[in-house]
Amino acid sequence: MWWRFSLLVLAAVAVALAANPQLEEDELAALKYVNDLEQEILARNNEATEASWAYESNLTEDNLKQRNEIQTRNANYFKEVARELRKFNYKDFKDADLKRKIKKMTDLGYAALAEDKFTQLLDAISSMSENYAMAKVCDYKDRTKCDLSLEPELTETLATSRDPEELKHYWTQWYDAAGAPTRDNFLKYVQLNKEAAELNGYTSGAESWLDAYEDESFEAQVDAAIEEIRPLYEQIHAYVRHRLRERYGEAVVSEKGPIPMHLLGNMWAQTWDNIADFTTPFPESRQLDVTEEMVRQGYNPIQMFKMGDEFFMSLNMTELPATFWEKSILEKPTDGRELVCHASAWDFYRKDDVRIKQCTRVNMEDFFTVHHELGHIQYYLQYQHQPSMYREGANPGFHEAVGDVLSLSVSTPKHLEKIGLLKDYVMDEESKVNQFYRSGLGKLVFLPFAYTIDKYRWGIFRGDIQPHEYNCKFWEMRSKYSGIEPPVVRTEKDFDAPAKYHVSADVEYLRYLVSYIIQFQFHRSACELAGEYVKGDPEKTVNNCDIYQSVNAGNAIKEMLAMGSSKPWPDAMEALTGQRKMSADALLEYFQPLYDWLVVENKRLGAYVGWEPTEKCKPE
């Protein structure tokens, strides 16, 4: 008789649903309300983006005031929209797309705060960002000359100087100037971040950020990926530390300790490719660096962007619109204004109004950055037909991955030869190891750094890391996951995490880690579609693939990009890769030749693998 009972229950449920005309009426009303909002939301997003662009392009008090006023006004508007939408019992609606839209529109982020607190939060973040953008340090040789900026002076010095005392000077000056002054504003920011998260129904800001990935197991997936790549990371770390000891000696670099980070060619030791010149496995083999050739051929920033544009068009993607060339800032202005030079791509929520702001220099690194930023632009152009709430990446990491997929092709010798920047380059075994090594210094060593930046902030947001331990916990984590340490002893009087732009500017960083993993999944699939990769074929490997001019690969990427965030990210990933989970397997396949070589080489050198904890941060 159980089946009769089951049928009765099902019939009762069906009758109940059919007999709820109020729910159907509410769903129609909600649909009309959401559709009617679209043009207003686009206009407001455009106004806010224009104000942010004006401020970041010219850091004045007037521009800051105008930007914050518009953001506050919009916050109040979206708060009212959310209040109206929350009147509907939308979780019982039948239309899955409508439910998705309403969920996005009722999660207000910081706009959930009361107006005075929202303004306080904006002020705190603006103050931290402004401190970062305007921080100046003193010259190593002339301590009375104190007008050096991060971009370009410090960045170039960290990349090129091989004097450990000079590097230590600039490292210390930067962290002192860009970090400690933000502590009070950071404390305000943490408190208001917590209040906003709770108002949106999250236990902390960590859960608020992680919710964007629409998977309760996502944090565990990230932890697993970091563990998966750790053996490879430990090998490259051991090799680099050995080479640094050869250059600088035992007094500067210990045998088993973390690497002093000022020696790694980057202010945050997030990538190490700037020290490839003296750590490269086979220095006698020709190095892959086309900077000199770019300069010799008279390259300029405009030409670099035009070449990036041509790459996308070769994939059957969208040509950069005229407004891009009219309104972008592609070189550092010479009129003396202060601006945020950090490369960024912008969507202005109007048809074809997309821009980049980048203080572009003529070198190979910036040539790859150009392609990365144009990846963001292409994403904007492909999903601009979507409703406003879907005009974003499938998850935060997708946006960052797209441009890098192109860079993986652009950085291959075969592509650089095609575009006339490389001639007669022989890709023998030594050259291959050099190429994978250099790529590892850029891609692989970044992963534990990116992991730390957000794992640290999750700990703060969750209350697991308290203000009295903010600094030493940061260095403890950088040591644990990256095996690096500061060049001088730090204390809790210092506050070093905000000396990284994304911490000062309140930019979630997990997106970069995710992008560095999934880009290899995207790349492998695009290479298969381009006929450039066949598993097991030594002539068609994933690490020697150039998808340039492949319409098949381009069309598949376009299909993924055009979805925006209209579907959960596994749906978008599946459109290109056939996979629905993030996995480090494609990354590890890409770097397998490097891993095999490093294991043998480190044994030959007697290089210690692993590292002891840092002792470079004292509570007082």
| Phi, psi of 393, deg, nearest 5 | -65, 160
Question: What is the CA angle 323-329-332, rounded to 5?
Answer: 165
Q: Which residue has the tokens 């939301």?
A: 41
Q: Residue 289: what pLDDT? A: 86
Annotated binding site for Zn(2+): 372, 376, 400
Q: Residue 8: what pLDDT? A: 44
User: Which of 242, 342, 399, 502 is labelled catalytic?
Assistant: 502
Q: Residue 12: what pLDDT? A: 43
Q: Residue 18: what pLDDT? A: 52
Mean pLDDT by 10-residue block, N- to C-terminus, for the chain (620 residues)? 45 50 93 97 98 97 96 93 93 95 93 94 96 96 95 94 98 97 98 97 97 92 95 99 98 98 98 95 87 97 98 98 98 93 95 97 94 96 98 93 90 93 87 91 96 98 98 98 98 98 96 94 97 93 94 97 96 94 94 97 98 93
Three-state secondary structure of 368-383: HHHHHHHHHHHHHHHC
**Residue 350 near residue 327, CB atoms below 8 Å:** no
pLDDT tens digits for range 299-326: 999 999 999 999 999 999 999 999 999 9
Helix, strand, coil percent values for the chain (each to nearest 5):
65, 5, 30
Q: Residue 567: what pLDDT? A: 95
d(CA 173, CA 175) in angstroms, rounded, equals: 6
Annotated binding site for chloride: 213, 511
Residue ranges per domain, the chain?
21-102
E-strand ranges in 203-295 read 259-260
User: Which of 27, 130, 373, 476 is labelled catalytic?
Assistant: 373
Three-state secondary structure of 119-146: HHHHHHHHHHHHHHHHCCECCCCCCCCC
pTM: 0.87
Whether residue 56 lies in the annotated active site = no
Whether residue 612 lies in the annotated active site = no
Annotated binding site: 213, 372, 376, 400, 511
